[in-house]
Amino acid sequence: MQLGTVDTPSRRKDRILGLAILLSTFVACLGFSMWGRDAAIHDPAPPPAPPTTDFSGFPDKVKPFEVLELAQGLSVRPLLQGFVATGVKSDGTMDFSQKQTHLRFSFQSLPGRGPQPGRTAGTLPSRSYCGRQSVQVGRAGLGTSPDRPETTCPRQDPRGLPVPDSCDLKDLWKFAMKEKGIAKGTAEVEYFWARLGPAYRFAGKDERGRMQRFTLNARDCKSVLAGADQRGSVPP
């Protein structure tokens, strides 16, 4: 004959304590879940601020790499993906008093970082988003374009382009004049990730007025890239 367990005050106290522990654990897990949900949904990017002209060299002696730190600080995306510069002179500067001169930086975030597309609370994102934002310089000064949180990530996680140590835009122009016969004037320059690393894509006219284009390794200002090695572009 099996005897029943005697329900003593001590056992009732242990049972109540156990239930209290389970309940508190459940509440804590629920709280962490809600915190994780809210932490994963970043605040939206602020609206673009009015353009500023308070930076070095503006309007007629602007050096893109000297503007980079300020541009990066204005963007909600920290990783430089390149720039497109129209109107780069042979001394490596840009004159924004000229109508056709324009500079655009492109920035992204690591997957899931920075402002993300809106979604229903408690749901997971359908894909990996890195976002994208442009910071531009024109006749009105330097300002940001609206952030694009819905931009998906590239095949490889984005990396921030470095500032070249020994190959700035003035060095690029020296190569163009010496090796490619480019005449003094202005050129369009892209700084971007090529297959082999940081690279410049240069377009300018030679002494006969013919447009010449080439892609140069930005690490040494000596190696011309061709074929698949020069593939890449600045994200729009």
Rounded alpha-carbon distances, angstroms, from residue 92 to 43, 213, 224: 38, 17, 19
Burial of residue 118 (CB within 10 Å: 0-12, 13-18, 19+) is: exposed
- pLDDT over 80 (residue 84): yes
Lowest-pLDDT choice from 56-65, 121-130, 220-229: 121-130
Give the model's confidence band at 44: pLDDT under 50 very low, under 70 low, under 90 confident, else very high. Answer: confident
Rounded to whole angstroms, the Cα distance separating 4 from 13 reads 18
Mean pLDDT in residue range 15-27: 63
Does residue 55 contact residue 82 with C-beta atoms inside 8 Å? no
- Percent of residues, the chain, with pLDDT higher than 70: 79
Mean pLDDT in residue range 98-114: 96
Higher per-residue pLDDT: 218 or 23: 218
The whole-number pLDDT of residue 46 equals 87
Rounded to whole angstroms, the Cα distance separating 217 from 236 reads 22
Higher per-residue pLDDT: 193 or 20: 193
Question: In the sheet that 141-144 helps form, which strands lie side by side, from edge to edge?
Answer: 141-144, 133-138, 102-108, 79-89, 186-194, 197-205, 211-217, 224-225
If you average pLDDT over each of 38-47, 110-119, 213-222, which comes out highest?
213-222
Mean pLDDT in residue range 157-164: 93
Does residue 196 contact residue 102 with C-beta atoms inside 8 Å? no
Give the model's confidence band at 1: pLDDT under 50 very low, under 70 low, under 90 confident, else very high. Answer: very low
Residues 6+ apart with CB under 8 A from 126: none
Helix (H, G, I), strand (E, B) or coil at 203: strand
Residues 6+ apart with CB under 8 A from 226: 215
Determine how many CB atoms are found less than 10 A away from the CB of residue 43.
9
Does residue 68 contact residue 74 with C-beta atoms inside 8 Å? no
Does residue 234 contact residue 81 with C-beta atoms inside 8 Å? yes
Mean pLDDT in residue range 35-43: 52
Give the model's confidence band at 158: pLDDT under 50 very low, under 70 low, under 90 confident, else very high. Answer: confident
- pLDDT over 50 (residue 184): yes
Helix (H, G, I), strand (E, B) or coil at 190: strand
Higher per-residue pLDDT: 224 or 25: 224
